[in-house]
A = this chain, B = another copy of it.
Amino acid sequence: MALSYSLQATIPYDMADLNSLVRLPQLMALVMQVSGLHSVEIDMADDKILKEFGLVWIISDHTIKIKRLPHFLETVTIKTQPLFHNRYFCYREYQVFDQEGQEIVNMVTNFMLMDFESRKVQSVVPEIVEAFQSEFQKTIRRGPKFKNLEEAKGREFSVRYYDLDMNGHVNNGKYLEWIYESLGSDFLSSHTPTSLYIKYNREVMADSVVDSQVELVDLVSHHEIHSDGVVNAQAQIEWQPLEK
C-alpha cells in the first residue's frame, strides 16, 4: 500500500468565487501543494529530484470527479497517495473530504518525469517511486475520447509575463483558467462542474496568443487551447445548473 499524506485546510476568501464556492484551478493548486508536502516528508522533494537526478515532474492529465465543491470557510481534509506507476506514468490520487468524512472531490493526476536540460520525458526512476512505496502495474489509464469541435466559439488571450514559470513555460493552472473564461461569466456563475478531464499536449510558448475554443453541447463543454497552429491542451467538462 502506498504511503498517503493528509492535511486539513479551510477555504480562504481569495479562493472563493462569486458563488462562495472554491475556484477549481485554485483547489487543484492547493491539493497539489499537499503532495509537495508529502514529498518533503518522505525526503523525496522536488529540489532533491532535480539535484540528484536532473529531473522534474510534469503533468500529462487530470481526471476529476466532483460531488460538490467546498465553500468559503469550509474546513476540508485533503488526502493524497500514489495509485500505481507503469514505465512512464505515475498516477496519484487526491481526495477532498468534508467534515462528515464524505469524499466530495476526487482527482487522479498522471505525472511524468522530464529531464530538466533536454526537456525529454524519462522512464520512471525506481529510487523515486520506491520512496513513495508506489506499486508497478502494466495498466495505462485512458481518459474519454475528445469530441472534434465543429461549431466552436473562441476567445483569445495574450500570454502575460506572469503566466510564465521559471523555464519560460506557461504554468499548468493557466490552461484551465483560459478554458473556464471561454464559457463567459453568465454560464460560470450559474453552473458548477461535476467532472473534468484535461490533457496537456504541448506547451504554450511565451509571447503567444492562445485561442481558447469551446463547444457546449447540452451540459458538456468541449475545449481546445490552440496557439501557433498547434493544439496545446484539450478538456471536457460536465456541468450542472447551480442551485442557489
Question: Which A residues fall within an 8 A CB radius of B?
Answer: 10, 12-14, 16-18, 20, 23, 25, 29, 33, 36, 46-47, 56, 72-73, 160-162, 164-166, 168, 171, 173, 177, 180-181, 184-185, 188-189, 206-207
Expressed in whole angstroms, the minimum distance between the Cβ of A57 and any Cβ of chain B is: 9
Contact status A25-B162, CB under 8 Å: yes
Expressed in whole angstroms, the minimum distance between the Cβ of A58 and any Cβ of chain B is: 11
When distances are taken between beta carbons in the complex, the residues of chain B under 8 Å from A29 are 14
Contact status A185-B206, CB under 8 Å: yes
Expressed in whole angstroms, the minimum distance between the Cβ of A168 and any Cβ of chain B is: 6
Contact status A162-B73, CB under 8 Å: no
A17 to B25 Cα, complex, angstroms: 19
Q: Smallest CB-CB separation from A19: which chain B residue?
A: B166
A161-B181, A185-B206 known; A166 and B36 CB under 8 Å?
no
Choose from B23, B56, B171 the contact partner of A162 (Cβ within 8 Å). Answer: B23
CB pairs A–B below 8 angstroms (17 shown): A10-B47, A12-B36, A12-B46, A13-B166, A14-B29, A14-B171, A17-B164, A18-B161, A18-B164, A18-B168, A47-B73, A72-B166, A161-B181, A161-B184, A161-B188, A161-B189, A185-B206
Contact status B166-A18, CB under 8 Å: yes
Q: Smallest CB-CB separation from A168: which chain B residue?
A: B18
A20-B166, A161-B180, A162-B180 known; A173 and B73 CB under 8 Å?
no
Expressed in whole angstroms, the minimum distance between the Cβ of A163 and any Cβ of chain B is: 10
Q: Smallest CB-CB separation from A73: which chain B residue?
A: B47
A161 to B188 Cα, complex, angstroms: 8
